[in-house]
Structure 1
Amino acid sequence: MAGESTAERCRRAARRALGLTELRPGQLEAMTALADGRDTLAVMPTGSGKSAVYQVPALLRPGPTLVVSPLIALQRDQVEALHRNGEAAASVDAGTSARARGETFEALRTGETEFLFCSPEQLARPDVVDELAAAGISLMVVDEAHCVSSWGHDFRPDYLRLGAVAEALGRPVIAALTATAAPPVREEIVARLHLRDPAQVVRGFDRPNIALSVRRMLGDPAEALVASVREQPLPGIVYTATRRRTAELAGLLADAGLRTAAYHGGLRRADRDAVHGAFMAGELDVVVSTNAFGMGIDKPDVRFVHHAEIPGSLDSYYQEVGRAGRDGEPAEATLFYRPEDLGLQRYFTGAVPDEETLARLAEAVMGCGDGGIDRRGLRERTELSPRRLTTLLDLLRRAGAVRPGPRRVTPVPGGPDPEQAAGAARELAERHREIERTRLEMMRRYAETGDCRRRFLLGYFGEDLGGPCGNCDTCLAGTARTPVEAGGPFAMHARVEHDTWGPGQVIRRDEDRLTVLFETGGYRELLLDAVLDQQLLRERG
């Protein structure tokens, strides 16, 4: 309608196409930015309507929409939801026949289909990229965008190609969506997807209906965990660190009379699908899983999430905890904590690539001249798996040596030689390992704090809760402190500089200490007296 603002057009389209009479916090802001053609990063809790954030502007923009989603089951669920709303949507995956694939792309080119869903692995295929480029994609949606970040809890190397894919598609508007992303994850999403002056819509991480608690264990927590599960309203999820442990705990819960199943990435797809389907249908009381049981678990009535061991970061912990209580009703999240379990997580973060492999890869690219080499030829020459190849190429890209594209990898003119590139790439990997270990240290501090756990957790994500939450074990035990308004330098969110760790931001300010997130040094806790006496930090403008 003439004179109608973009926000008003979005509201009208949301009512007409999706039946949404009211929009939730953040939805309209993100919709409007996308409809106006602006790249957008939306960090919004699950259940806050992230799908509508891209569906509404997609209907207002000319040209089809590509939705990149990591799980086939999740893609199919969203396609079915769009069909129920009368919208034309389709998906392609490895199981799609050549005939169906051709018909799908034809419908996309002719405008019969508005939404196409596929995985990042599909976008590694040049023929798929060519078909999408011919269709004139106007909006590219990256769902679960935290997977692009090596800072994140669910890093997937296949996501690293998406920035180059967007360029190959003629650079459509990009919507990056995720439910949980700490400040460094958000920064890396923007950089890796090549977002241009993006609107960043970040809505509250707080889930006040989830009671948080930690149980300090001296021995194997299995018996205490089973007893706790038997006392809980059902259904629930138990997370554990290893595949072997899933079967062990599932067996103990079954012996206790609960309908339960183990789940991990080593199971056959059919078995994983069967467990997922049974849980969603209410046929299981408890699923015991590694972190493989994650995206796509949008079951509103999960009443508890237990962790049998400490996770590797607060990012992964809060993502997993967030699968409880999505209906807004009371739920519980309990961590069974043994300090010795930290060693297993340190082991998981311990490996860095060797310089010889990195140098061999750099030489394989540079030895082919300015035209570079196609990815298949590079895999054959280096004998690296696709996943590992993508990870190592990203390190060499960051070292300024190569430019990985969707089809070919080319050397950077005037860049470092293979040995120099390998050394710089390994240094980046070592720095990343150190940062990972600071994230694990923050997880340990969460487990051992006597202060309000929710306030600690939200501070990690850049939010200041203010006072104690009243719904965690430390608040109920009376050990949580009411924060004192801290005056003087280094207030919350202050930008600072350290001689060794470089620039950073204060994410927590207590009476006697600061927690600072440094760009190259990760999360560090500093005693305020030492900071002031030794002038360890300088405030930046």
Structure 2
Amino acid sequence: MEETGAACERVARQALGLAGLRPGQLAAMTALARGRDVLAVMPTGSGKSAIYQVPALLLRGPTVVVSPLIALQRDQVEALRERDEEAASLDAGTSAGERRTTFESLRAGETEFLFCAPEQLARPDVVRDLAAAEPSLLVVDEAHLISSWGHDFRPDYLRLGAVAEALGRPAIAALTATAAPPVRAEIVERLGLREPVEIVQGFDRPNISLTVRRALDDPADEIVSTVAAAVAERAAPGIVYTAVRRQTGRLSGLLGEAGVRAAAYHAGLRRSERDDVHGRFMAGDLDVVVATSAFGMGIDKPDVRFVVHAEVPGSPDSYYQEIGRAGRDGEAAWAVLFYRPEDLGLQRYFTGAVPDLETLTAVAQAVADAGPGSDRRALRERTGLSSRRLTMLLDLLERAGAVRLGTRRIDPVPGSPAPHTAAELARELAGRRRDVERTRLEMMRRYAETGDCRRRFLLGYFGEQLSDPCGNCDRCRAGATGQQQEESGPFPAHARVEHRTWGSGEVIQRGEDRLTVLFDTAGYRELQLDAVLEQHLLTENPGS
């Protein structure tokens, strides 16, 4: 039998036309072809699609690809068909006849790739029909969405671990461009990955210039004009992100007055309006899209020259994901953040919601009253909650040990606490998550206020060390940074440590005078090195 790695290289060359493979690709392909789970964190443009397409052609059985956007699914299907590979997509608009034909083709081995959103896999009939096709590979694209730590939260991603089991537990490939250590850990946990091969390539995008403009003296009602004036000076095309919907219209209007072809985009627009803005931007008929975070996922427009944030985002995770949409052609691009400390309060508000005890108790009671084998539709009718809201609350109750979630049924856990007690435990978990989310916001504040190389700070957040200043951020251009001294002494990067209050954690960045530690349950904390040493705040756990 041909050695697996060589077989992957042969298929990549013959089927995909790849003369050579990029770092990390072959190791990920080989692991999947051998039936191993893989978590691959690789920058956009580094060939994540090839990672699953090559082993898919070597393994018997179809490949199910979970992708968050219908437009992206259709693009991927079209690209595969152009290479004479049979592929199909499934969404809410697929007719009953098309569904039947698709599943028959999958079972017959005529179609290799099926693309769908996680919401489709929430349907028991879809899971049943897919299981009958005996898939060999389940691919979760944009896998950071499975984590409530991630850039955007899609509750139906939470069910994918159970879906994998219902499909006969094929090998799983979890793919994303950006995932900090806690996001990677939660992806592994929630998908139930089994001793996964983790491929984490460099996060650095050196062609993107990083700048923070402190808008300390600009009143809130004037900052929009300041941002618009700055954007109008930039070479299009570009994206401007705002935290709230109403700002998208104001900013796009001001840009239009300045002669910039701009449009607003947010989740409150009709689907046809959003599709129109998306299509015009991709076709080059718009210079700038002013949007909330609802815009950008799946945007593969290589010539985006800038990404501007009118307010500070909620975390370095979302910030890096969004600025990564610039400069995908490798040419110079710019990421500009307008920073007002007052804007941190808005993001704290966004992360401040914790489910109320009464609603959580009602859901726990509904599950207990229904007994084993309840379904989501019945629970929605009983509680009056939306599908999205119910899914999030059930997830909390499952983590509190009160319910067990499958693809078709919801069961109370025998011997679990009473509904009120279970709700209290679930609410406590939500509160802890909120507190950790706020530590990520604090890291965003530190990025905006750092006197050091901004790229070094960002990469350190993702666990990647950069000793030399990047030379392509405003701090470096101002001559304010220098070479980071070689680490010596205790608490080097990646050391496991223990804090008497915050518990276990890992050093993710060690500067000359401070440590950044990611604690397992307390989130990101920045500590002065002198205080750590003098007060014995941390102890190293070399064996953990």
**Alignment-derived partner of residue 192 in structure 1:** 190
In structure 1, the partner of 2:229 is 227
**Cα distance in 1 between the residues matched to 2:443 and 2:181:** 15
Specify the alignment match of 1:140 in structure 2: 138
CA distance in 1 between partners of 2:200 and 2:36 (Å): 16
> What are the equivalent positions in structure 2 for 1:25-174 lying under 5 Å apart?
25-174=23-172
Deviation for aligned residue 1:467: 1.4
Amino acid at match of 1:51: S
The total of aligned residue pairs comes to 538
Aligned counterparts, 1:159-308, within 5 A = 159-217=157-215, 218-219=217-218, 220-308=222-310
| Post-superposition offset of 1:229 | 2.0
Gaps of 5+ in 1: none
TM-score (norm 1): 0.98
Which amino acid counterpart does residue 198 of structure 1 have in structure 2?
P
Report the Cα distance in structure 2 between the residues aligned to 1:348 and 1:78, rounded to whole angstroms: 34
Match of 1:391 in 2: 392
Residue 463, structure 1, aligned to residue 461, structure 2: no
- What is the percentage of aligned positions where both structures have the same residue? 73
Q: Indicate conservation of the 8 Å contact 1:366/1:372, yes or no.
A: no
Structure 1 segments of 4+ aligned residues over 6 angstroms from their partners? none
Output the amino acid matched with 2:392: T
Relative to the length of structure 2, the TM-score reads 0.98
1:317 pairs, out of 305, 319, 329, with 319
User: What is the CA deviation profile of residues 403-446 of structure 1, one whole-angstrom value per residue up to 9, with x for unaligned ones?
Assistant: 11111110112222212211111110000000010000000010
Aligned to 2:520: 519
Secondary structure, in 3 states, of the residue corresponding to 2:370? coil
Instruction: Give distance in 1, aligned partners of 2:76 and 2:537.
Output: 50
Unaligned runs of 5+ in 2: none
Partner residue of 1:496? Answer: 497
**Residue of structure 1 equivalent to 2:442:** 441
Contact persistence 1:365–1:372 (CA under 8 A): no
Equivalent position SS for 1:200: strand
Q: CA deviation at 1:489?
A: 0.8
- CA distance in 1: counterparts of 2:89 and 2:463, whole angstroms: 36
CA-CA distance at 1:104 after TM superposition: 0.7
- Deviations, residues 439-483 of structure 1 (Å, cap 9, x unaligned): 000000100111000000000000001111000000000112321
Aligned position for 1:8: 6
Q: Is 1:507–1:515's contact at 8 Å kept on the other side of the alignment?
A: yes
**Partner Cα distance (1:111, 1:11) in 2:** 23
Cα distance in 2 between the residues matched to 1:116 and 1:15 = 23
Task: Encode CA deviations 1:474-531: one digit per residue, 9 max, x unaligned.
Answer: 0000112321223211011100111221110001111221110001110001111221
Q: Report SS of the residue matched to 1:373.
A: coil
CA distance in 2, matches of 1:351, 1:237: 28
Aligned twin of 1:365: 367
SS at match of 2:342: helix
Instruction: Name the amino acid aligned to 1:521.
Output: A
Q: Please state how far the C-alpha of 1:203 moved relative to its aligned partner.
A: 0.4
Contact 2:467–2:485, Cα closer than 8 Å, also in 1: no
Aligned to 1:340: 342
Amino acid at match of 1:424: L
Backbone CA RMSD of aligned residues:
0.9
Measured in 1, the distance between the counterparts of 2:316 and 2:505 equals: 19
Residues in 2 aligned to 1:158 and 1:340: alpha-carbon distance in whole angstroms? 34
